[in-house]
Structure 1
Amino acid sequence: MHINWNVLLLFAALAGLLLSQPAFAADYPNHPIKMLTMVKPGAQIDLLTRALADAMSKQLGQPVIVSNNAGGSHGSVMASDLSAAEPDGYTLGVSATAAYTYSPHFIKTRYKIEDFTFISMLGLNQSGLVCAPDRPWKTLKDAFEWARKEKKGLTYMFQGSDDRDAMRRIAAKEGVSLSLMPSTGGPSIISAVMGGHADVGHLGAILFEYVEAGKLKLLAATTPQRLTPIPDVPTLKEQGWDESVEMFVVLAAPKGIPDAVMARLVQVMDNLAKDEKFRNFISDLKMAPVPFGRDYAEKYMKQAYDRFGREAAEAKKESTGKAK
């Protein structure tokens, strides 16, 4: 009887691979997990990421180490790094949803939304447009009216491409010249606005402490609803523009994580949804609550991606029409 050793070795290798998958998943995690975040240390999303890492570490029994991979549009640098990571559950990422839903439509990215699995939404970052307290404006509408009257432009410091584009559209409708300044996050915007280098800037919930201290003035809520701590300032839509900037935050992973590992991560997030201490921490960050869980995250991300895709197609159509 002739034995084909090559065939036997192939079957042995395949059997070993199949057996190793459940064993790997059952053993997860057996070493530290890296959690990437889109901002520099000390920013609001960094604080959220570190609280999440600590809470997950307690459940998983392994350290969850935060890595600050700042840069790009709404975390596109972090998203690029996450897309290149092994899909083994040992590299996760926390960023604004726009890194996945908006940026691929409007800037050149090294990834696409299909490269990721979305584990859970984490919160809605309440955000708004601010100016220095000595400016003679109560609302953003006032700022544009002032600019037209004085025959001056406005300088705007933006967080990402979506708030930048929203302000571009508003300025165009108002007939006011808008100079754009990129930022490296909330602290840089605060410094620029307070120092008079930018007339208006876009901030997340970090704005509340500065507005409450009288160091900044809120001109408009950029979320669909008014900001809960400062309910007397109207939204962009209430001021006459059909615009909003939704700064949702999501926990993501590279596509292809083993089912058993994903189930473990989903279970951890389901547990945190019932963790009053963790949910209160999110509220203390002035973030609005959102449903936890993978089903809601995947559904929201697809809807947002498709919506921004339609906006990108419309913008391209308008640009082509103007070129003609």
Structure 2
Amino acid sequence: MKQLLSIVVLACMMIVPSLGHGQDWSPKDSITLQIGFGAGGSTDIMGRLVAAKIEENTGWNIVVENKPGGGGIAMFSSLMRQKPDGLTLGLGVSMPIFLNLASRGDQIPFNIDTFDYLATIMRGEIAMVAKADAPYNTLEELIAYAKNQKGGIAVAFDAKPQQMVLEPVARDAEVKFKFVKHKSGAEQVQSILGGHVDVGCTAGEHVKYIESGDLKMIASMSKDRQACAPDAKTLIENGFELYLEPYFYIAAPKGLPENVKAALAKAFDEAINSDSVKQGLLNSMQATAHNLGPQGTHTMMSQGAVDIKALVEAATTQQQ
């Protein structure tokens, strides 16, 4: 009996380490992180920042590759055809994907469930902002001001969803917003400060100007109020059931083995929540690191796609 017990104990000692080892994973080759936008932009900056931290933490080799086109559509169209081995990943922005799927989904080769999701790096906080000395401080006051302007007011934007969210606001409030397309949030800020537009819709660029006293927030266009202007109400609090929350997220081809997905998710989480990445995001984009994790990212993508589709359908109905 003692001999049998010894054999059983020895077998268990041999099995347990092998099971533990089976749960571990590290890449046998370089990981390619494809970025759906060009070099030098905010998405590229954060992708390289996180990739460098993962290399430092794990010793893995991360190759960053820019694949711009269609707001991430070109990159994800390529990513879906890669092997689900953890060696090819993609960094994109949720809002352009939602908008494309909602407006021309029949022309896009993928949908939300085509990918596995690993992490979000940050959430873009979008705000309606104005010059500090503008004669209005809140959305309610802005609407009252707009009603007294014969031609309406000029509203800067740099992404179509910003216009799509504010069109119902103007319609319901019975005021006129003259939308002026800009190339970036930075360009919007200069237009506001130069007096060329009345308000703008910026995604992070406004923070340092609010802190310096050059701009003020008229309303938060995110779901929540923002730390840089806690007294500024959201559109929802102002009676408009509308919001924008673009997330920068990491995806992989569908079908990652669970141990591969777990290892990658852990590596991204540790990098995103590291002090150096948090500070880097704050310094370069006035943004706060915000990782939803694999399940949270999938939920965000699924719900966001539904919300934007409803917004697009509402806008289409109004135009008919």
TM-score (norm 1): 0.75
Match in the other structure for 1:87:
82
Q: Which amino acid aligns with 2:82?
A: P
Q: Deviations over 1:274-314 (max 9, x none)?
A: 64544565566554554442122112211222333344445
Contact 2:164 2:311 in 1 (8 A): no
Alpha-carbon distance between aligned partners in 1 of 2:205 and 2:314, rounded to the nearest angstrom:
33
Alpha-carbon distance between aligned partners in 1 of 2:310 and 2:250, rounded to the nearest angstrom:
25
Match in the other structure for 1:296:
296
Match in the other structure for 2:103:
106
Task: Show the 5 A alignment for 1:131-280.
Answer: 131-255=130-254, 261-272=260-271, 275-279=274-278
Post-superposition offset of 1:259 = 6.0
Task: Show the 5 A alignment for 1:13-92.
Answer: 28-31=27-30, 33-38=32-37, 41=40, 43=42, 45-58=43-56, 59-65=58-64, 67=66, 69=68, 76-85=70-79, 86-88=81-83, 89-92=86-89
Q: Which amino acid aligns with 1:50?
A: R
SS of the residue corresponding to residue 207 of structure 2 reads helix
Q: Which amino acid aligns with 1:200?
A: V
SS of the residue corresponding to residue 236 of structure 1 reads coil
Alpha-carbon distance between aligned partners in 2 of 1:53 and 1:146, rounded to the nearest angstrom:
47
Contact 1:128 1:202 in 2 (8 A): yes
Contact 1:79 1:93 in 2 (8 A): no
Alpha-carbon distance between aligned partners in 1 of 2:89 and 2:186, rounded to the nearest angstrom:
25
Post-superposition offset of 1:273 = 6.2
Contact 2:33 2:89 in 1 (8 A): yes
TM-score (norm 2): 0.76
Post-superposition offset of 1:255 = 3.8
Distance 1:154 1:255, change over 3 A: farther
Post-superposition offset of 1:183 = 2.8
Tell me the C-alpha RMSD between the 2 structures.
3.1
Alpha-carbon distance between aligned partners in 1 of 2:254 and 2:207, rounded to the nearest angstrom:
36
Question: Identity, % of aligned pairs?
Answer: 20
Distance 1:118 1:181, change over 3 A: farther
Post-superposition offset of 1:32 = 5.7
Q: Deviations over 1:177-230 (max 9, x none)?
A: 222223322222222222333322111222111122233222111112211122
Alpha-carbon distance between aligned partners in 2 of 1:50 and 1:30, rounded to the nearest angstrom:
18
Alpha-carbon distance between aligned partners in 2 of 1:125 and 1:232, rounded to the nearest angstrom:
19
| Matched residues, number | 290
Alpha-carbon distance between aligned partners in 1 of 2:269 and 2:186, rounded to the nearest angstrom:
33
Q: Deviations over 1:25-74 (max 9, x none)?
A: 9773523624315476253x4443232121122225214325373x7xxx
Distance 1:93 1:192, change over 3 A: farther
